[in-house]
Chains A and B, each alone.
Chain A
């Protein structure tokens, strides 16, 4: 590849050589662990589209087969979780986590969202963390509100990762955003000239420098030394490639997101969030659900591998806007439902459990005779994960982070 023939140089070194005081830049000054109030880490993954909890954790028995003649027909995976449900075969890579006590599920949970089953509203409510949308007026997300109760939240404490702006992290507290899809190649000469044009604009200069230092560590982008015309034409090709969304590595975008999250969390960040799509399986679900489940597995395993020892103090919370219909539809898929599943992972967990009260699948047990009845509020588990990780008070969680939620008994998520 062209890149290797070029001599890369760190932009950071360069700007220092240019007399630019990068070390004094507030955005690059490391925040000490003590300043953020501890070693625990929280990752929130929003599963956009409505994960089918009943296909993630398949209850064994005739009831499910009656409701899902094709979806429940395949051979049980053999990965039997507490309570007897079988883990979806596509989650096989996650089985070692379960065995190690680093994976846990909550069944039959949902947000307070009911009846309309719209992705848009369901996701808004999930990320706003409120009890309803009808009264309107909520502009920020629960993850951002959580930050204002954490001691000494600094610039580097929280990251929202990925191309899409997220309501979850929006609000008054500073949250760093970065998408590993942001990538460019610039000659070192170009980088120097850009510094020159931004010399009198410290705000722009700092943000640009930070962007350059992020990209310089990436696979396909960064600042390159060029010393002849051949290299310039290669540079042109690389710039073209950066505009192609389906370019090299695009398929693994979710892995790059997880890698970036892990790198930040290993460093000074203590909170990260991102989203994974593809869960809206209205048709051919047996096939369509495989990919998002694989992406979720990749993300969790990437976090674990890349976090190293820090995985031991990490809790990952994956939640979705709603579950899906209990019965399969006419196109071997499922439609928007209500009760669903939550996934917890991380070395900080007690693990190896399926939490939540099982409501049953008999018609009378269902919500509106079609959906799994939610028996608990998914926000309650997120709240406990926060409380155990960062020590937030009950009052802060019940009144501000998740207004209207009742924390109730401690599910003791962390080991």
Chain B
């Protein structure tokens, strides 16, 4: 089989919706992906510029508050301003998540949302401080989302060199030990920090089995010195902080004449086009979208396509959709167990939560029905424990706590997020399709009340395994 309208929605989207028709062919899926970002237009979020401006303003308010003399009226006023700023930042983040959910629930082009989520988790950069938590959604929207059908190297550069990532992986603290900056400051100045360099090689590009050594990590870390950024401050290159001299990474020499940003772009492009990167990314895509143990032929095709096109993600995505192995079903022993954020998002889509409810979601509602339950299910919203993102293995998610938390949500949340619960006998068909298993149809019919009927459909293997 080379296309299935059900799998097109469940495996390559956020599931079926009773109100949004699913794509009828791979051609249509590709046309949507290659077309304008309609969901982003319909459910807009703050522009990156505005977010950065607001972050800068909040930082300024905090500074004024910190500097004001204690016990004075000025201190009280400054505190009030700062607290108002923080409250606004929190509310902005709530609205942002609401818009992201609205996109997932109402888009025709659901694969774009899945790709965005996938790449956001490939380049995770949850804020380590209040300010960067505030700018985290903007990072995904501006550094990741525009590139999901573009060149991998462009996404790599945009993500790795974003202020968000430079802060998350400590690059902003890294200084060349022999740089002018270090010499002027003398003792006590911070030295080299390898964190970003290592993760670029191990996680973002070549992969843990890739052909790099500790020497390459060290050399890349030296090459990356000079990069700085801050709250609302765009990434810049400061020669004074840069380690002098050339660096050799995977046998190629960079910065042979003088230290400059273009060499950093060059090394990232080289790493993006490396065969090990092609292998690493091909496998990760196949695992994430199809199965923990993907068909080798599928991985080979994705890898080849990546290499042939120098990392054109549109071409790689198309190769995935056009490969028969991508459409193998559970009957063939193929498929994945939904991660929690996909479970919740696809349930909201099946329930057709009205757009204005999502766009105008309150902080309390979002906490109660989305962020707190996701945490219990083991997947705090966009905040994995480390830079390697969330686990891909189904066995990780099939835990008693994870399933218990899903059942708690499935019994309690649907009745609160839609005006009227659908009839479970209809819901089982709109959600699972005409191929809904007889046992789930029976359960939906035999349930003692609507809530349990809906929960039984959402908890069924047919809904959770895609």
Contact = CB atoms under 8 A, between A and B. Distances in A.
A356 to B, nearest CB: 27
A27 B400 contact: yes
Interface in A142-181: 163-167, 170, 176-179, 181
Contact of B199 (A136, A197, A330): A136
B290 interface: no
B248 interface: no
A235 interface: yes
A193 interface: yes
Contacts of A176: 399-400
A134 interface: yes
B407 A208 contact: yes
Given A183-B408, A214-B404, A242-B412, A135 B459 contact: no
B442 A215 contact: no
B16 interface: no
A245 interface: yes
Contact of B405 (A139, A182, A198, A245): A182
A244 B368 contact: yes
Given A184-B404, A185-B411, A135 B198 contact: yes
Nearest to B198: A136
Contacts of A27: 400
B382 interface: no
User: Which residue among B195, B385, B398, B455 has the maximum number of chain A CB atoms within 10 Å of its CB?
Assistant: B385
Contacts of A243: 368-369, 408-409, 412-413, 416
B380 interface: yes
B129 interface: yes
Interface in B163-202: 169-170, 173, 190, 192-195, 198-199, 202
B464 interface: yes
Given A120-B128, A167-B385, A197-B456, A182 B195 contact: no
A137 B408 contact: no
B448 A179 contact: no
Contacts of B401: 177-179, 182, 211
Interface stretch (B98-106, B262-270, B304-312, B370-378): B370-378
Given A201-B461, A239-B411, A244-B368, A196 B404 contact: no
A232 B171 CA distance: 57
A204 B461 contact: yes
A189 interface: yes
B402 interface: yes
B437 interface: yes
Contacts of A242: 408, 411-412
Contact of A232 (B395, B398, B448): B448
B386 interface: yes
Interface string A184-196: 1111011001101
Given A189-B447, A198-B461, A240-B415, A170 B407 contact: no
A118 interface: yes
B88 interface: no
A409 interface: no
Nearest to B192: A134
A236 interface: yes
B7 to A, nearest CB: 18
A163 B375 contact: yes
B407 A211 contact: yes
Contacts of B192: 134
A343 B378 CA distance: 28
Contacts of B70: 330-331
A201 to B, nearest CB: 4
Contact of A120 (B129, B198, B387, B461): B129
Contacts of B449: 187, 232, 235-236
Contact of B459 (A137, A178, A197, A240): A197
Interface string A357-379: 00000000000000000000000
A165 B378 contact: yes
Contacts of B357: none
B388 interface: yes
A165 B391 CA distance: 12
A136 B194 contact: yes
Contacts of A355: none
A266 interface: no
Given A135-B194, A136-B195, A244-B368, A165 B407 contact: no
Contacts of A187: 448-449, 452
Interface string B414-425: 011000000000
Contact of A186 (B128, B198, B411): B411
Interface in B412-456: 412-413, 415-416, 437, 439-440, 442-443, 446-449, 451-452, 455-456
A134 B194 contact: yes
Contact of A177 (B386, B399, B413, B465): B399
B461 A215 contact: no
Given A178-B400, A211-B400, A189 B446 contact: yes
A118 B194 contact: no
Contacts of B402: 207
Interface string A203-223: 110011011101100000000
A163 to B, nearest CB: 5
B464 A204 contact: yes
Contacts of B385: 165-167, 170
A190 B173 CA distance: 55
A275 to B, nearest CB: 13
Interface in A207-266: 207-208, 210-212, 214-215, 226, 232, 235-236, 239-240, 242-245
Contacts of B443: 193-194, 196-197
Contacts of B448: 187, 189-190, 226, 232
Contacts of B400: 27, 176, 178, 207-208, 210-211, 214
B403 A211 contact: yes
Contacts of A5: none
A199 interface: yes
A193 B128 contact: no
A4 interface: no
Contacts of A167: 385-386
A207 B461 contact: no
Nearest to B174: A134
Given A121-B128, A190-B448, A232-B448, A137 B440 contact: no
A153 to B, nearest CB: 17
Interface in B349-393: 367-369, 372, 375-376, 378, 380, 385-388
Contacts of A189: 446-448, 452
B460 interface: yes
Contact of A197 (B375, B386, B394, B439): B439
A186 B464 CA distance: 19
B408 A190 contact: no
Given A190-B448, A196-B442, A184 B461 contact: no
A133 interface: yes
6 contacts: A120-B129, A139-B388, A167-B385, A186-B452, A196-B439, A244-B368
Given A136-B387, A176-B399, A193-B447, 14 more contacts: A136-B195, A137-B202, A182-B376, A182-B401, A187-B452, A189-B447, A193-B452, A196-B443, A200-B461, A204-B398, A207-B400, A211-B403, A243-B413, A331-B70
